Chain A
Amino acid sequence: MNRKIFFLAATTALAALTFGTSVAEAAGVLTIGRREDSSTFDPIATAQNIDFWVFANVYDVLVRVDKTGTKLEPGLAESWTVSPDNLTYTFKMRDAKFSDGSPITSEDAKYSLTRIRDDKLSLWSDSYKIVADMATPDAQTLVVKLKSPSAPFLSTLAMPGASIISKKGMETMGEEAYAQKPIASGAFMVKDWIRGDRVILEKNPNFWQADRVKLDGVEWISIPDDNTRMLDVQAGQIDAAIFVPFSRVQQLEADPNLNVLLEPSTREDSLLINHSHGDLGKQKVREAIDDATDKKAIVDAVTFGIGTVANSYIPKGALYYNADNAVRPYDPEKAKTLLKEAGVSNLTLTYLAQAGDEVDEQVGVLLQQQFAKAGITLNIRKVDPSQQWGMLVDGDYDVAKAYWTNDILDPDQKTTFVLGNDSNMNYMTRYNNPAVTKLVAKARVEMDPKKRETMYVELQKQAKADVNWVDLYYSPYINVARKNVKDFFQNPLGRFFLEDTDKE
């Protein structure tokens, strides 16, 4: 008898576990799987996309970037005027409220921008040092005075780091509490954040565009394993997933329940060359390396044909991108000749790869074979990702693959980093062409778009001629969503327009 009761109980328990709790999420809640969980909600304290991509839906900014990622549009600032000397910007702010119902004023905007410029937590101080002074003549007007004219200034206001936070909220709650559960100025507010697991957002009824928001809420769920994340969408456990590996695209496209979304991005992968290492300082040697690199073969093998060969350091489709920039075709014989002309024989290089990064290692192996045909020996050295970073900064490498995604639509940010010769040694390449450096500074303060474009085209050509690095490939953001999800979209700067997304 006892045994029977035990058996019965056990079966019931098992049945309950198996069928009892397959909860369907609330109809209007969109669940999105991603690789990592957020690290903070303090907009100034992070430089990671994983945080920025959620900020864009929790906070609004003065000026937004549109869906194409090439134009600015009004955000919390309804309109703005610029003084003739390009030093004074006057923003007229719209009538909007924070999630706690309090009005968003010019005082909050001033506080947010002062914070990103001056606070010791800020990782972005440098980009906002250009701001000399701010004034708030009334609650809807913000006057910003710059130290010198700056063409990219408006676009830096659209960066998620410059999100508008509540001054009163931050002062009463304190930094730590605000970073955990902030007062929102955007489409959604943080309902709960289970660290390491998920960020639970719900619609912000006080958002000035609340009519536009269709979803009741969004959950960003951390699912680190690529396979598991894809299986979660396939099984219908979640509605969408981001960071789809190249290798999975074809298989997911065959699934009738799913839409695979390839969104143009500003990501460019490039091969860094350390100009300070011996022969790599010679232009001809770097040109030989570019000639010896079969970009097409790398795109085909690594991105499964999804990416495209890069011809410029400015991403395809981005502002001032020069479509006519030349690509050096794969020509190992020409590389050999160039090396001979440079008086270099038996060139041996080390490729510094991130251990565990499949794509990085794959590119290394391909380059090894391609370089061999040009008589260049390439050794692959794998190190831990964070160690690789330190070695790149210290100049302890010959070549390495790196990538960049733009944070602002203006090309100045990346150009300064890659060619402007600032404290980062031109993305650790130690490339140094004084004429280029000068032109980067000039382009930053040129306010005429036509003239500015000419300058950036010139910069792209010159960088290619100097082989500051080898442009490898552009690749899209790859996301996947179930068929019932509508308008799940990410712009080239990475912003998700969840205020337009709907679930049927």
Chain B
Amino acid sequence: MHRYRFVFYRPLQLLPVLVGISIITFVLVHSIPGDPARILLGTRATPEALANIRAQFGLDEPIWVQYFDFVKNLFHGEMGRSILYKVDVIGLILGRLEPTLVLVFGSVILSLIITIPLATLAAGHRGGAIDHAVRMISTGGLGMPAFWLGIMLIILFSVKLGLFPVSGYGQSVADKLHHMVLPCLTIALSLSAVLTRSLRASLLAEMESDAAMAARARGLPEHIVFRRHVLPNSLIPTLNLLAVNIGWLISGTVVVESVFAIPGMGQLLIRAIFTRDYMVVQGVAMLFALASVLTNFLADILTVVLDPRVTL
């Protein structure tokens, strides 16, 4: 059972990581030039009104006092108040969580649906025309920026064919899923480009492995060998790659949410950065960091579960 001991002590190691992230986020956010009070007040700003806003949000305090307040709030389960919206940051973030989660999970699932058959095909026809075709497709997928790909998908599937909504998130569950198909596809197409290459390589390696050879020697048909031995073993590096890419995936949602007008955390973050809504930027950044750290932790657990040889 000691293989799973890391599940208990690893979270303790994560704590200093999170403290580090909080400091970095805070320093980065506060060192961007620009003044939230001035942005809020626009061209009509008078010195008194500016001072008034700064006092309301504690922006006139020394920077270390502001950091201390931020950490103190975190321990109370709070993240301060949004300067733009004038409401609690936590509530604001919770209201935006669902669309982003759906987008992330949807993209991962969709990218696996694309990746596994493509990589299998390519590995099965190593060096052949199909293999080259798959490689071309994945290189193409990497080359297309999300904002362009998204618009192209909208023009084709929404405007020309009328199959999916152009933008937004929807109300009922079915409606929401309907809205999320194109955004998820936009991310999945570029994500699967990365994953296909990795999975193809590990499939090729596993096909030559001793386990696969032995299975073939026992007279098992090739498709059984593939399903029982080759595929499960090849998925491990791909899963890890997926976990490493979670940061990239999250940054992808920021762009895609803007293109498809999805009211998620990415859009919240963008507007918060432009308006220097410090509390919101800090809150979202902390949450994204936490998500990224947790995903890697989960990937570790999954690896240990899938592969009995691994100890961490």
Q: Chain A contacts of B47 at CB under 8 A?
A: 423
- C-alpha gap A488/B87 in the complex (Å): 33
Q: How far is the CB of B276 from chain A (nearest CB, A)?
A: 6
Contact (Cβ within 8 A) B167 A384: no
Supply 5 A–B pairs (Cβ within 8 Å), ascending by A: A16-B174, A21-B170, A123-B49, A386-B33, A387-B34
Q: Is the CB of A197 within 8 A of B166?
A: no
Cα A39 to Cα B268 in complex, Å, equals: 12
In angstroms, Cα B154 to Cα A234, docked, is 11
B42 in the interface (beta carbon within 8 A)? yes
Closest to B268 in A: A196
**Stretch from A70-78, A223-231, A344-352, A449-457 contacting the other chain:** A223-231
A384 to B172, CA, bound (A): 39
Interface membership of A221, Cβ < 8 A: yes
| B-chain residues with CB within 8 Å of residue A278 when the two chains form the complex | none
Say yes or no: A231 contacts B158, CB within 8 Å: yes
A228 and B261 form a contact (CB under 8 A): yes
Q: Return the chain B residue nearest A48 by Cβ.
A: B42
Q: B50-104: which residues lie under 8 A (CB-CB) from chain A?
A: 52, 56, 84-87, 92, 95-96
CA A223 – CA B164 in complex, angstroms? 16
B271 within 8 Å of A (CB atoms): yes
> Which of B11-19, B175-183, B190-198, B242-250 forms part of the interface with chain A?
B175-183
Nearest CB to that of A237 among chain B residues? B166
Q: Is the CB of B86 within 8 A of A45?
A: yes
- Check B174 against A228 for contact (C-beta < 8 Å): no
Q: Does A390 contact B (CB under 8 A)?
A: yes
User: Given the known A-B contacts A17-B181, A195-B95, are A47 and B259 also in contact in the complex, defined by CB atoms under 8 Å?
Assistant: no
**Main secondary structure on A side of the interface with B:** mixed
B263:A222 contact, CB within 8 angstroms: yes
A390 near B38 with CB under 8 A, answer yes
Q: A40-B85, A231-B159 are known contacts; what are 19 more A-B pairs with Cβ within 8 Å?
A: A17-B177, A18-B164, A40-B86, A45-B86, A120-B56, A197-B261, A221-B168, A225-B167, A228-B151, A231-B151, A235-B162, A235-B166, A384-B32, A384-B33, A384-B34, A389-B35, A393-B38, A404-B43, A417-B43
Chain A nearest CB: distance from B278 CB in Å? 12
Shortest CB distance B201–A (Å): 29
Q: How far is the CA of A42 from the CA of B85 in the complex (A)?
A: 11
Chain A contacts for B259, CB-based, 8 A: 225, 227-228
List the A side residues contacting B287 at CB < 8 Å.
none
Instruction: Please measure, in the bound complex, the distance between the C-alpha atom of A23 and the C-alpha atom of B172, giving whole angstroms.
Output: 11
Interface flag for A263 (CB, 8 Å): no
Q: Does A424 contact B (CB under 8 A)?
A: yes
B2 within 8 A of A: no
A71 to B42, CA, bound (A): 26
| Chain B CB within 8 A of A253 CB | no
Q: How far is the CB of A305 from chain B (nearest CB, A)?
A: 26
List A residues 3-26 near B (Cβ within 8 Å).
Answer: 16-23
Q: How far is the CB of A191 from chain B (nearest CB, A)?
A: 13
A residues 161-188 in Cβ contact with B at 8 Å: 176, 179-180
A232 part of interface (Cβ distance < 8 Å):
yes
Is the pair A21, B175 in contact by a Cβ cutoff of 8 Å? yes
- A binding-site residues for B, Cβ under 8 Å: 16-23, 36-37, 39-40, 42, 45, 47-48, 120, 123-126, 176, 179-180, 194-197, 221-225, 227-229, 231-232, 234-235, 237, 383-387, 389-390, 393, 402, 404, 417, 423-424, 427
Q: How far is the CA of A427 from the CA of B52 in the complex (A)?
A: 21
Decide: B34 and A386 in contact? CB cutoff 8 A: yes
- Give complex CA distance A398, B37 in Å: 24
Question: Which 5 A-B pairs give the minimum distances between C-beta atoms?
Answer: A386-B34, A197-B263, A223-B261, A196-B263, A387-B33
Cβ proximity bits B26-48 to A, threshold 8 Å, 1 near / 0 not = 00000011110011111111111
B169 interfacial by beta-carbon distance below 8 Å: yes
A227 to chain B: closest residue by CB? B151
B258 at the A interface (CB under 8 A): yes
Residues of A within 8 A of B85 (CB): 39-40, 195
Contacting A at CB under 8 A, from B270-284, are: 270-271, 274-276
**B290 interface residue (CB < 8 Å to A):** no
Known: A20-B178, A21-B174, A231-B154. A195 touches B263 (CB 8 A): yes
Contacts of A125 in B (CB 8 A): 48-49
Which A residues touch B34, using CB under 8 A?
Answer: 384, 386-387, 389-390
Q: Given contacts A20-B178, A224-B267, A225-B261, is CB(A389)–CB(B163) below 8 Å?
A: no
Q: Is B165 engaged at the interface, CB distance under 8 Å to the other chain? A: yes
Q: How far is the CA of A196 from the CA of B92 in the complex (A)?
A: 9
How distant is the Cα of A36 from the Cα of B274 in the complex, in angstroms?
Answer: 12
CA distance A385 to B191 in the complex (A): 32
Assembly CA distance A235 to B153 (angstroms): 13
How distant is the Cα of A387 from the Cα of B275 in the complex, in angstroms? 11
* A22 surroundings in chain B (CB, below 8 A): 162, 165
Closest A residue to B264 by beta carbon equals A196
A36: which of B168, B174, B260, B271 is its contact (CB, 8 Å)? B271
